[in-house]
Amino acid sequence: MNPVNPMDAKHSGPAAGPPRGPSRPEFWRSPLRGPWLTAVFGIVLLFGITVVFVTGLLSYAAYEPDLAAVNDQTPGKGWLGFYLFSWPTSPYWLYRVTQGVHVTLGVVLVPVLLAKLWSVIPKLFAWPPVRSAAQAAERISLLLLVGGAGFEFATGILNTQLHYIFPGSFYTLHFYGAWVFIGAFAVHVALRLGRAVRALRAGPRQPDPDSEEAAGLVSPRPAAPTISRRGALGMVGLGSLALLAVTAGQSVGGWFRRTALLAPHGQEPGSGPNGFQINKTAASVGIRPSDIGPAWRLTVRGGGRQIDLTHAQLLALPQHEALLPIACVEGWSTADQHWSGVRLADLAALVGLGTHPPQVLVQSVQRGGSFSSVVLSAGQVRDARSLLAVRVNGALLSPDHGHPARVIVPGAPGVHNTKWVTRLTFGEPV
């Protein structure tokens, strides 16, 4: 029998330490990584992601998912919809602001998120992978945190670019993904907030690599620095400012839209009164000339009664005006447009529901795409600014903007301002 070489024994068992590669602390040589830098990124994300999550919840509430199944793109939400409330019509710019903040801040936080992941990447390769049940639970939460962040930011950005390449509904995926992510985020904050606060108080001084204070982030064999930690923070901040500059204009609208280089372009259908942004053209959802031509009729039902109106008869009804923007889930919005048409409450009165008009099911002639129908709440119907519009900025609606008639409601998401309306059903079960 050959004798065992003591040196071989030293490197053969569990005591040999982590395998060569990223599991070894000396593999990571950046002199910048440390608890202070990670804590700065973490605190920024703590506040930023909280705002993004809250505005995301508000966006979901604005879709009035409790009114009807046609409004709800996330069936089976259960208790995750505990906070839902009836979305108000005042202030009329509410959804424009909340969704603009949601999308713009989400994009702006991307450099901070990437920098935070870079700063803690050695922790992802910590050896041994599992030391205890508590540490295993923490690593699972970390996996959900990193995976959830990547999923939410990626799907959100794809949605802002109108790239619907998801294996299912964006609304469903993004909604449930958000709850998974925020659950892991809350666990991570509970476990790490105290350490982050202590690191901030200690300042940018690097602790000893072997100390508990270093938290496994400080390299035991750092390379020569090429930039300071404050310089790295400045670079990340400049990246976020650059993204702000090329994103925020799509929410601000007007002249500033020219600066929104990351916004979807080619969505402005020409110039003139109808020359403001759209998401979908008439052709893209299967609207044929015959659908919106002389044979078009508006059917109004409710209270056991029904009337059918031609376009000329609709134009002959008392017309009212409203200055309202269009704001969409992708983050873009228009300036206030000058709409004119018939109040939804007046149309309800035509079928005997004029005193306290109920909610209404709005149906379009479109054949493709989502949101061909929507239910508006009684509060939305009763608002004097809620119109079945036939004109915008003094001109008849163009086909791409919903001719012969479209809904315009203060504070509602853009997809609830249904175009090419052919039927209004007041108060009946959907």
Q: 226-244 pLDDT, tens per residue?
A: 999 999 999 999 999 999 9
Give the residue numbers spanning the domain of 73: 17-251
**Digit-coded pLDDT (tens) for 345-375:** 999 999 999 889 999 999 999 987 788 999 9
Cis upstream peptide for 75 (omega within 30°): no
Query: How much is the pLDDT for 16?
Result: 61
* Pair (93, 196) in one structural domain: yes
Taking 50 as the threshold, does the pLDDT of residue 6 lie above it?
Answer: no
Give the residue from 379, 385, 377, 368 showing the smallest Cα distance to 416: 377
**Digit-coded pLDDT (tens) for 292-307:** 999 999 999 999 999 9
Q: How confident is the model at residue 398 (pLDDT cuts 50, 70, 90)?
A: very high
The Cα–Cα gap between 77 and 57 comes to 13
| Cβ proximity of 405 and 397 under 8 Å | yes
In a domain, 263, yes or no: no
What CATH number is associated with residue 366?
Answer: 3.90.420.10
Query: How much is the pLDDT for 11?
Result: 43
* Pair (231, 339) in one structural domain: no
The Cα–Cα gap between 123 and 33 comes to 11
In a domain, 275, yes or no: no
Query: How much is the pLDDT for 349?
Result: 97
Residue 379 region, left (φ>0) first, then alpha (ψ -120 to 50), else beta? alpha
The Cα–Cα gap between 214 and 235 comes to 24
Based on the structure, what is the number of domains in the chain? 2
* Pair (415, 314) in one structural domain: yes
Find the helix packing angle between 133-160 and 94-108, rounded to 10°: 120
* Pair (88, 133) in one structural domain: yes
For 409-416, what is the mean pLDDT?
Answer: 96
Cis upstream peptide for 128 (omega within 30°): yes
**Digit-coded pLDDT (tens) for 119-159:** 999 988 888 888 888 778 778 888 899 999 999 999 999 99
Give the residue from 251, 427, 221 showing the smallest Cα distance to 344: 427
For 237-259, what is the mean pLDDT?
Answer: 90
* Pair (200, 321) in one structural domain: no
- The residues, ordered by sequence, that sit 6+ positions from 201 with a Cβ below 8 Å of its Cβ are none
* Pair (290, 226) in one structural domain: no
- The residues, ordered by sequence, that sit 6+ positions from 63 with a Cβ below 8 Å of its Cβ are 71, 72, 73, 87, 413, 416
For 255-283, what is the mean pLDDT?
Answer: 83
For 368-397, what is the mean pLDDT?
Answer: 95
Taking 50 as the threshold, does the pLDDT of residue 10 lie above it?
Answer: no
Taking 70 as the threshold, does the pLDDT of residue 213 lie above it?
Answer: yes
* Pair (233, 294) in one structural domain: no
The answer to which of 22-26, 256-260, 329-333 has the lowest mean pLDDT is: 256-260
* Pair (354, 418) in one structural domain: yes
Question: pTM score, two decimals?
Answer: 0.90
Taking 70 as the threshold, does the pLDDT of residue 2 lie above it?
Answer: no
Taking 60 as the threshold, does the pLDDT of residue 3 lie above it?
Answer: no
In a domain, 344, yes or no: yes
Q: Which two tokens stand for residue 396?
A: 């008849």
The DSSP secondary structure of 203-260, one letter per residue, reads: -SPPPPTTSGGGTT-S-SSPPPPSS-HHHHHHHHHHHHHHHHHTTTHHHH-GGGGGG-
In a domain, 409, yes or no: yes
Q: Does residue 323 sit in helix, strand or coil?
A: strand
Q: Which two tokens stand for residue 341?
A: 């048409």
307 has which bridge partners?
300
The gap from C-alpha 392 to its chain's centroid, in whole angstroms, comes to 28
| Cβ proximity of 17 and 220 under 8 Å | no
The Cα–Cα gap between 263 and 308 comes to 41
For 202-209, what is the mean pLDDT?
Answer: 91
Q: Does residue 185 sit in helix, strand or coil?
A: helix
Residue 427 region, left (φ>0) first, then alpha (ψ -120 to 50), else beta? left
Q: Which of 251, 269, 303 is the last residue of a domain?
A: 251
Taking 80 as the threshold, does the pLDDT of residue 406 lie above it?
Answer: yes
In a domain, 182, yes or no: yes
Q: How confident is the model at residue 265 (pLDDT cuts 50, 70, 90)?
A: low
In a domain, 1, yes or no: no
* Pair (223, 316) in one structural domain: no
| Cβ proximity of 247 and 54 under 8 Å | no
Q: How far apart are the first and last CA of the chain?
A: 85
* Pair (92, 210) in one structural domain: yes
Q: Which amino acid is at 120?
A: V
For 49-57, what is the mean pLDDT?
Answer: 97
- The residues, ordered by sequence, that sit 6+ positions from 19 with a Cβ below 8 Å of its Cβ are 127
What percentage of the chain carries pLDDT values higher than 70? 95
Residue 22's CB is within 10 A of a number of other CB atoms, namely: 15
Longest Cα pair distance anywhere in the chain, in angstroms? 107
* Pair (43, 173) in one structural domain: yes
| Cβ proximity of 405 and 298 under 8 Å | yes
**Digit-coded pLDDT (tens) for 87-125:** 999 999 999 999 999 999 999 999 999 999 999 999 888
The Cα–Cα gap between 70 and 47 comes to 34
Q: How confident is the model at residue 266 (pLDDT cuts 50, 70, 90)?
A: low
* Pair (150, 298) in one structural domain: no
